Amino acid sequence: MGTIRVRFITVALVVSFFAVGMAAFLNYFKYKSTIGGIVKSRVLVVGRGIENSVQASLALGMQFTELSALPSQMEREAASDPLIQGIDVFDSTGQIIYSTDAASVGRSVDRAWTDAAAASKSTEWTGEAPGEYVAGISLKNNFDLTVGYLALRYSRDYVDRAAQAAARQIVIAALGAFVGIALVAPLALIVVIRRFERDLQVLETAASHLEDRGQPVPLPGSAFDPIIDHLRASLRDANSALDDLRAKLDRAG
Amino acid sequence: MAARALALLVLIGTLLAGGPEASAQLERRPLRIYAITFRGMTDVERGFQDYFAARRIPVQITWRDLNRDASRMPGFLEEIRRTRPDLVYTWGTSVTLGVVGTYDGFDPKTQITDIPVVFTLVAAPVLAKIVPDLKSSRRNVTGVYHVAPTEAQIRAMASYRPFKRIGILYTPTEQNSVVVVKEVKEVARRLGFSVLDMPFRLNAAGQVTADGAPEMIHEMKERKVDWLYLPPDSFLGTQAEKIIIPAALAEGLPTFASTEQLMEAGALTGLISHYYAIGQFTAYKAEQILVNKVPPARIPIETLTRFTLQVRMDMAERLRMPPPLPMFNYAELIMPKQGVASAQ
Amino acid sequence: MLEKNYLWRVYWQLAGVIMVCVVIALAVVSYFSHRVFDRELVPETEKKAATEGASLRALVLKATGYGIPFDGLYGVNRTFEEVFSENPEFSYAAITNTEGTLLYHYGKEPQGALVHFHSPALLAAMRDSTVPWQVALVDTQYVVSLPIIDGAKPLGVLHIGIESVFVDHVLLEVLLDVLVVLVVSLFFTLELLNFMAGARLASGLGEFGRQVERMRVGDFTAQARVRANDEIGRLLRRIDAAIDHLNVRYEFLAGELQDKLRAADAQRREALKPAVAALESIGKRFKFGTAPKESQTDEMNLNRIRAPLFTFILAEELTRSFLPTYVNQLLVTVPGISPQVVIGLPIMLFMLIVALGQPYLGSWSERVGRRKAMLVGAGLAAVGFLATALAYNLYDLLVWRSLCALGYAMVFVAAQGYVLDRTGSANRAQGFALFIGAIMVATVCGPSIGGILADNIGFRASFGVSAVMSFLSILAIMRLPAVEIRPHNTRASRTPRLREVLALVTNRRFMTLTGLAAMPAKIILTGVCFYLVPLYIVSLGNTSAMAGRMLMVYAVMMVLIVPLAARLSDASLRRDRYVAVGLIVSGLSGLLLLLSDSILVLFGVVFLLGVGQALSIAAQSALVAEHCQEEIRVFGSDAVYGVYRLLERLGNALGPLLASLFVVLWGYQGAFVALSGFVLFCGVAFTLATRSEEWQAQPAHP
């Protein structure tokens, strides 16, 4: 097998690996973001309910820190979906004011949460906690001042497990496709490569017979015919000139 | 009280500048505010005070009530000059005009120019000539108005029940109402509905009277009006509960209120601002001046960005017009017997 | 030229076969992914529908709690409509009473829905408050049903339908990216074919072609060359052998004649006359002997620059589609400067460093050696990318981007020098075509892949990928020949002196070319492609991948049109026309946004911009040589081109600045229009200036 053949096939394999790899990558991330989005929007449905009642209470002049009905509502909502692991409401300093986890009231949330909430252009934001994803809503008062934040913590494991299962299947499909291509591509390429190799072969054969005297070997027809003709013509020219010299020398004795 | 203030320490986080400074600038001396109300303490004052408490900004407020008696004003002005507070708070158009006058005709000798003034609950500050436009007073004054933008009200009305034509009853001698009617007509042109506006009659003495109002409402119904819009009109306010709203109810015509007062008079629904929230917003403006040291002329005159949509459920039932389902999520549903039910 | 075209034909055939295989493989992957999506996403969506349903049900119960009759609810459709707008996978919603009679419904009703709603089993289950929800496939929709029970009294049933083909829509979004992958794969294939096989083949076949050409004109001098051990090497050795034989024969004959002449008397000399004449004519017609060791035009080594250059440029190009958005994320308020301008700062600084650094780095890389200069540059850039990925805020980001800029300038200049060192005047154009080719392919592949990466793995990780690419380029650079070639005939390039700069920037002819054509072209390029497009697209709620696709359109236009325009403008010799038309087309591009602000129009903008730039770019620098001969005579070609390049690159730095100022003044759309308007103005001014007689007269006296 010629070195050129090996090189061309290597190119095919590298490119296929890239393309299949990228496609698998894209499909996986699309899957991950879609399922993440579905799960998050499910959690946010619950959040919107809480947001509505907080806003209604604020509009009635109740203090953000005195929403006595809120903890029980949060408990109820958190219990309604096993995916939700906890709900916190915290202020702009990050201090938790209400939580389904009574022990964490008064503690501070991860600074990244308040930063993410502050940086978000809409009222929604996202964050992370150990083992948990966080879907957040900024709670705003009547003149658009953010009074606090609602954080719904849900199971990271749930999302990750789903993503991993999909990843495994996509990787298997991609590997299969790649193996398939690795088998098919060389065969398909050989058709093109063989024509190319034959052309080179013809050229080489022709070159190896360049110095043959007499009738030139008939050409089998290749892309290089004109070039070979040129080659032969030039060599013939030179040789005949030298022949002429030889003859003249001989004639001179 | 101190415990309550502590519990409220964390009321309002703000994305706007000033959040961090507020706590940093805990001054030893409390900020002195001189407040003049028009008819005693309302929810506006409660919201105003609560805001400072929640922000842990120590304030000392001197409360004075005009009690609808303009003759008390010179005494207050004299007291302000004498005690030199850090800020003056004025409630309503009359009080505000008494303290700062109009932008083109104030009297620097008697009225206040060198102490920042924050007004609240002025329905139409430009119309009242307190400020030339809402971007800036161009003097030592800023404040908060409380009426929702006309277009927002019209849209709220349409989201309750779509309409083709609305009727308006108004007082032709009240400049404020005339302007609102003009605005509604402009919105109508843009959104594609028609307006049937009818002014109250004037009696022989040239005074406005409610005589013939029920007939006008009947005529509106005849002429296929879908809603009766109640503008922020003082005279209308006094007649709404006894005459106007019952007449509309008799005709099966839903009513839309532009103020909390009209809502209380029995309108079906309305887009209003709660006095408490107005008070908080006023305090926010005061904070900008006192704590963040922004000159009042650089603080725009604004109203709330989110208003409260109220619905009288008893009226809805009598008119057989239940609020649309999505409204149960955000509207304040009022049952007169049980009081107010929030949208929980 | 035959062998070159032949080789490209082979490449395209190979690429075609590879593409077919890739398309099949992509189809297989997509098919299986679809199955995975179907299997996993549908149950999740059902759960989501159940949660949405529970919230709707709560709303209904609240309304009935206020005494509104269950069958007298108002605005139920609007509620459904709102839910649908946020959940595009829902396609139908309905409420029935406990008998299954339809009370409210919205969306596309699946066939057989009514039968399903009346099914006794379902109705029985829906009276049971312990049943959370049920799901059934009705026609093409999965219908999730929830009981509506007020306390103990069943009121009815809420149904939400999920279109089973919604997964198709999700995957359709991936399809665009997969198409991008396909295009990028094609370019990768060609680039790799060139790198792995082509470099040798091309130089081998090129050598072969030149050999044939030499022989055709009678040059049979033997080339003292080491031939590669492959098909072409063997072929060349055969020819070498034939030439050697000829030479031996010639030497022998010539020697014999000499001997005979030496030993000959007058008569024999006469007899030898024809032979002498023949030898003379041979001497005239042919050339024998050993070729003088000509300058090292080592194409093999020349081609080897392509891979490291491509890899390195790719690292930078990857960041194009998302850098401004990343900067936006790290933004800190700089007092007195609008945030829009601040976002442009890193790009401006980058371009400025490249512009100002290049003249100095040129001579520096000559001193330390091209390979070493490239290694240092790629190393700096790798560190820069890594640090950019970890940047804390705008301020340190500026430092890291400066490192990248410095590295970029070093590698760029050194690679340019590498090509210069290894090309003579004969093949310099070819050398630069190779240089530009590598960069262009990187500009096609980089932004699009970068956008995809940024969307999926985040901005920081994508900068990490750039760092890895720079690191890979270091490995590729290490494989370059360590021996530096220092051509003696060229002077060390020098930086233009201030006096020359001043003289040139006040020179009308020079500035017509530079100020009206070269700089505006660069300003609109960096302003639109590097600044406006990424930010505007993201501000419209689109992804960085979309921005990448846009930039790919631009790059593909360049790749397709530049060679064409170069050939045409070379042939027609009216280069200024190409520049003028190109500028005007670029200038018209942004005006399209006056029509509409849709994404398609934006594609049109980028397309036109690509066409315009491609038309003018090839002709621009040639125009300097053509029209500024007077100036070149006075200041020297180095100085004129040095100043020209400097100003052109300052245009690069000005682009984001102008664009950001326009954004501050008129918003994104306004900025597109203003920037284009500016270039259009320059284009028209250039056209008018080059039509004047004074201008036409210039090329006449060389």
Q: Which of residues B125 and C618 earns the better pLDDT score? A: B125
Query: Could you read off the pLDDT of B110-136 as tens digits, one per residue?
Result: 889 999 999 998 888 988 889 999 999
C33 contacts on A by Cβ (under 8 Å): 23-24, 27, 31, 170, 173
Query: Within 10 Å of residue C33's Cβ, how many Cβ atoms?
Result: 26
Give the number of domains in chain A. 2
Task: Using the Cα atoms of residue C181, residue C186, residue C187 and residue C191 in order, give the sign of their dihedral.
Answer: positive
Query: Could you read off the pLDDT of C651-672 as tens digits, one per residue?
Result: 888 888 888 888 888 888 888 8
Q: Does B330 touch chain A (CB under 8 A)?
A: yes
Whether residues A233 and A113 fall in one domain = no
Give C643 to chain A, closest Cα distance, Å: 42
> Going by DSSP bridges, is the β-strand pair C102-107/C90-97 parallel, antiparallel, or unpaired?
antiparallel
Query: Could you read off the pLDDT of C337-375 as tens digits, one per residue?
Result: 788 888 888 888 888 888 888 878 877 888 888 888 889
Q: What is the 3-state secondary structure (H, E, C) of C655-675?
A: HHHHHHHHHHHHHHHHHHHHH
B326 contacts on C by Cβ (under 8 Å): 59, 75, 78-79, 82
Whether residues A120 and A229 fall in one domain = no
B13 contacts on A by Cβ (under 8 Å): 91-93, 145-148
What DSSP designation does C228 have? P
Q: Does B71 touch chain A (CB under 8 A)?
A: no
Q: What does the alpha-carbon distance between residue A75 and residue A101 come to, in Å, rounded to a whole number?
A: 9
- Spatial CB neighbours of B333, under 8 Å, sequence gap ≥ 6: B310, B311, B313, B323, B341, B342, B343, C66
Q: Which of B10, B54, B305 sits opposite A143 (nearest CB)?
A: B305
Query: Could you read off the pLDDT of A161-212 as tens digits, one per residue?
Result: 888 888 898 899 889 988 988 888 888 888 877 877 777 777 777 777 766 6
Q: Which residues of C touch B (CB under 8 A)?
A: 59-60, 62-63, 66-68, 72-76, 78-79, 82
**Residue B6's closest chain A neighbor by CA?**
A65
**Residue B334's closest chain A neighbor by CA?**
A60
Does residue C1 carry a pLDDT above 50?
Answer: no
Whether residues A204 and A120 fall in one domain = no
**Residue C205's closest chain A neighbor by CA?**
A200
**Residue B8's closest chain A neighbor by CA?**
A65
Domain contains A125: yes
Q: What does the alpha-carbon distance between residue A37 and residue C431 come to, in Å, rounded to a whole number?
A: 50
Mean pLDDT score of chain C: 81
Give A19 to chain C, closest Cα distance, Å: 6
* Interface residue of A48, A58, A60 to substitute, partner B, most B CBs within 10 Å: A60
**Residue C78's closest chain B neighbor by CA?**
B326
Instruction: Tally A–B CB contacts below 8 A.
Output: 102
**Residue A60's closest chain B neighbor by CA?**
B274
Contact B311, B334 (CB under 8 A): yes
Domain contains A161: no
Last-in-domain residue among A105, A121, A156: A156
Helix (H, G, I), strand (E, B) or coil at A153: strand
Side chain identity at residue C348, one-letter code: M
Give B130 to chain A, closest Cα distance, Å: 22
Whether residues A33 and A118 fall in one domain = yes
pLDDT for B10 = 30
Side chain identity at residue C559, one-letter code: V
Test A14 with C253 for CB contact under 8 angstroms. Answer: no
Displacement of CA C486 from its chain's centroid (Å): 32
Does residue A124 carry a pLDDT above 80?
Answer: yes
Q: Which of A177, A200, A210 sits opposite C231 (nearest CB)?
A: A200
Among B97, B101, B89, residue whose Cα is nearest residue B65: B89
A92 contacts on B by Cβ (under 8 Å): 10, 12-14, 19
Helix (H, G, I), strand (E, B) or coil at A242: helix
Mean pLDDT score of chain A: 81
Helix (H, G, I), strand (E, B) or coil at B293: coil
**Residue A57's closest chain B neighbor by CA?**
B342
Q: What does the alpha-carbon distance between residue C382 and residue C388 come to, in Å, rounded to a whole number?
A: 10
The CA-to-CA distance between both ends of chain C, in Å, stands at 31
Lowest model confidence (mean pLDDT) among A174-178, B151-155, C69-73, C276-280: C276-280
Contact C557, C614 (CB under 8 A): yes
**Residue B326's closest chain C neighbor by CA?**
C79
Test B11 with A147 for CB contact under 8 angstroms. Answer: yes
Q: Does B332 touch chain A (CB under 8 A)?
A: yes
> Going by DSSP bridges, is the β-strand pair B308-312/B269-272 parallel, antiparallel, or unpaired?
antiparallel
| Cβ-count burial C59-68 (b if 16+ within 10 Å, e if not) | bbbbbbebeb
- Spatial CB neighbours of C123, under 8 Å, sequence gap ≥ 6: C98, C99, C100, C157
Whether residues A87 and A109 fall in one domain = yes
* Interface residue of B43, B276, B278, B285 to substitute, partner A, most A CBs within 10 Å: B276
Give C652 to chain B, closest Cα distance, Å: 36
Test C55 with A234 for CB contact under 8 angstroms. Answer: no
Domain contains A58: yes
- What average pLDDT score do residues B208-232 get? 93
Domain contains A191: yes
| Cβ-count burial B98-113 (b if 16+ within 10 Å, e if not) | bbbbebeebeeeebbe
> Going by DSSP bridges, is the β-strand pair B194-199/B141-143 parallel, antiparallel, or unpaired?
unpaired
Test C279 with A245 for CB contact under 8 angstroms. Answer: yes
pLDDT for C230 = 67
Instruction: Tally A–C CB contacts below 8 A.
Output: 266
Whether residues A178 and A207 fall in one domain = yes
**Is residue C598 packed enough to be buried (19+ CB in 10 Å), middle (13-18) or exposed (0-12)?**
exposed
pLDDT for B157 = 92
Test B12 with A147 for CB contact under 8 angstroms. Answer: yes
pLDDT for C490 = 52
Complex ipTM value: 0.77
**How far apart, in Å, are the Cα atoms of B46 and each of A145, B40, B95, B117, C546?**
18, 12, 18, 19, 52
Whether residues A143 and A211 fall in one domain = no
- What average pLDDT score do residues C438-451 get? 86
Among B230, B237, B242, B279, residue whose Cα is nearest residue B261: B237
Mean pLDDT score of chain B: 85
Band (pLDDT 50/70/90 cuts) for residue B289 is very high
Q: What does the alpha-carbon distance between residue C195 and residue A209 come to, in Å, rounded to a whole number?
A: 32
Chains touching B (3+ CB pairs < 8 Å) = A, C
A144 contacts on B by Cβ (under 8 Å): 305-306
Domain contains A245: yes
> Going by DSSP bridges, is the β-strand pair B269-272/B255-257 parallel, antiparallel, or unpaired?
parallel
Lowest model confidence (mean pLDDT) among C81-90, C477-486, C592-601: C477-486
Q: What does the alpha-carbon distance between residue A195 and residue A150 come to, in Å, rounded to a whole number?
A: 69
Give B143 to chain C, closest Cα distance, Å: 28
Lowest model confidence (mean pLDDT) among B250-264, C379-393, C596-610: C596-610
**Residue B54's closest chain A neighbor by CA?**
A63
Band (pLDDT 50/70/90 cuts) for residue C202 is low
Test A173 with C171 for CB contact under 8 angstroms. Answer: no
pLDDT for B19 = 40
Test A97 with B15 for CB contact under 8 angstroms. Answer: no
Lowest model confidence (mean pLDDT) among B8-17, C102-111, C215-224: B8-17
Lookup: tokens for B168 = 């308006």
Torsion over CA of B203, B127, B270 and B305, rounded to 10 degrees?
180
Radius of gyration, alpha carbons of chain C: 35
Chains touching C (3+ CB pairs < 8 Å) = A, B
pLDDT for A122 = 81
pLDDT for C130 = 79
Q: Does B344 touch chain A (CB under 8 A)?
A: yes
Whether residues A148 and A181 fall in one domain = no
pLDDT for B165 = 95
Query: Could you read off the pLDDT of C180-195 as tens digits, one per residue?
Result: 777 888 777 777 777 6
Test A23 with C230 for CB contact under 8 angstroms. Answer: no
Domain contains A1: no
Test A142 with B7 for CB contact under 8 angstroms. Answer: no
Lookup: tokens for A39 = 């799960």
Last-in-domain residue among A88, A122, A156: A156
- What average pLDDT score do residues C677-687 get? 87
Whether residues A125 and A243 fall in one domain = no
Band (pLDDT 50/70/90 cuts) for residue C298 is low
Among B149, B180, B131, residue whose Cα is nearest residue B300: B131
Query: Could you read off the pLDDT of C447-460 as tens digits, one per residue?
Result: 888 888 888 888 89
Query: Could you read off the pLDDT of B130-147 as tens digits, one per residue?
Result: 999 999 989 999 999 988
Test A23 with C196 for CB contact under 8 angstroms. Answer: no
Q: What does the alpha-carbon distance between residue A47 and residue A45 come to, in Å, rounded to a whole number?
A: 5
B47 contacts on A by Cβ (under 8 Å): 61
Test A65 with B14 for CB contact under 8 angstroms. Answer: no
Q: Does B323 touch chain C (CB under 8 A)?
A: yes
Whether residues A13 and A94 fall in one domain = yes
Domain contains A40: yes
Q: Which of C184, C232, C286 sits opposite A238 (nearest CB)?
A: C286
Query: Could you read off the pLDDT of C370-425 as tens digits, one per residue?
Result: 888 889 999 999 999 999 888 888 888 888 989 999 999 889 888 888 887 777 66
Test C25 with A241 for CB contact under 8 angstroms. Answer: no
Test A242 with C253 for CB contact under 8 angstroms. Answer: yes
Whether residues A114 and A235 fall in one domain = no
Band (pLDDT 50/70/90 cuts) for residue A220 is low
* Interface residue of B12, B120, B260, B287 to substitute, partner A, most A CBs within 10 Å: B12
The whole domain housing A90 covers 7-156
Contact C133, C139 (CB under 8 A): no
Instruction: Tally B–C CB contacts below 8 A.
Output: 39
Last-in-domain residue among A156, A186, A203: A156
Query: Could you read off the pLDDT of B6-31 as tens digits, one per residue?
Result: 333 333 333 333 344 444 444 458 99
Domain contains A82: yes
Query: Within 10 Å of residue C186's Cβ, how many Cβ atoms?
Result: 19
Does residue B3 carry a pLDDT above 50?
Answer: no
Whether residues A26 and A133 fall in one domain = yes
Among C618, C416, C653, C590, residue whose Cα is nearest residue C517: C618
Q: Which of A80, A238, A251 sits opposite C220 (nearest CB)?
A: A238
**Residue B321's closest chain C neighbor by CA?**
C74
Q: What CATH number corresponds to the domain at position A77?
A: 3.30.450.20
